[in-house]
Structure 1
């Protein structure tokens, strides 16, 4: 069994596509519509056949409530791993990323958090070397 797809709810798919591709540097994988429904996914350029992140419109009341609740609690909607959180922080910040937490050492890792412009907090984590 594998994890092939995970979802993050967004309040605007076009804005989300811009953020995840232009600010975070992911690659668009799938983009097709059926009426008002749009299936939109991105992947890491390092793993083009890896796990896809669906940028799902939060037009479902349950999805909208979930997205708002975790945002209000300050909880990240998704966590990305990196080998260089400080370098990614500088690169993303230079592209306009809105960080709410600069790289911060916590037990076992260094983390940074930012807004994705679409209603979510994103966490970037670099695991400590043992």
Structure 2
């Protein structure tokens, strides 16, 4: 068993696609129209055949209270691995990304949390070698 697809609810698929590709650097994988929305996925350019992230419309009535509660408590909805949190923090800050938690050493890793502008908090992490 392996993870092939995971999803994030987004307020606006087109805005999310722009943020995830133009700002974060992911690559569009699928963009299949489905009525007013799309089956819209992105992948890491480092693993184009790896797991896909579905940018899923946040229309379901349970989504807003769920995301609002997590954001209020500062809980990220997803975590992305990076090689160097400090470098990624500097790169993304220069691109206008707002961090809710600066790079923080938590012992086994360094983490930071940012607002994806699409309704989610996202954590980046660089695990320390042991």
What is the TM-score of this pair, normalised by structure 2? Answer: 0.94
Q: 1:63, CA displacement in angstroms?
A: 2.5
- Counterpart of 1:5 in structure 2 is 5
Distance of 1:114 and 1:61 partners within structure 2? 24
1:71 Cα deviation after fit: 1.6
Mapped to 1, the partners of 2:47 and 2:3 lie a distance apart of 13
> Corresponding residue for 2:97?
97
User: In the aligned structure 1, how far is the partner of 2:74 from the partner of 2:115?
Assistant: 10
CA contact (8 A) 2:116 2:122 kept: yes
Give 1:124's aligned residue: 124
Equivalent residue pairs, number:
130
Question: How large is the RMSD of aligned CA atoms in angstroms?
Answer: 1.1
State the alpha-carbon separation in 2 of the partners of residues 22 and 96 from structure 1: 12
Kindly state the Cα deviation for residue 102 of structure 1 after the two structures are TM-superposed: 1.5
Which residue does 2:72 correspond to in 1?
A: 72
Q: Residue in 1 aligned with 2:41?
A: 41
What's the secondary structure of 2:50's corresponding residue?
A: coil
Give secondary structure in 2 for the equivalent of 1:87. Answer: helix
Distance in 1 between residues matched to 2:38 and 2:65, nearest whole Å: 20
Q: CA deviation at 1:69?
A: 2.1
1:12-37 CA deviation, whole Å, 9 max, x = no partner?
A: 11111111111110001101112123
CA distance, structure 1, for counterparts of residue 5 and residue 80 of structure 2: 14
Q: TM-score of the superposition, structure 1-length normalised?
A: 0.94
Kept after mapping to 2: 8 A contact 1:9/1:64: no
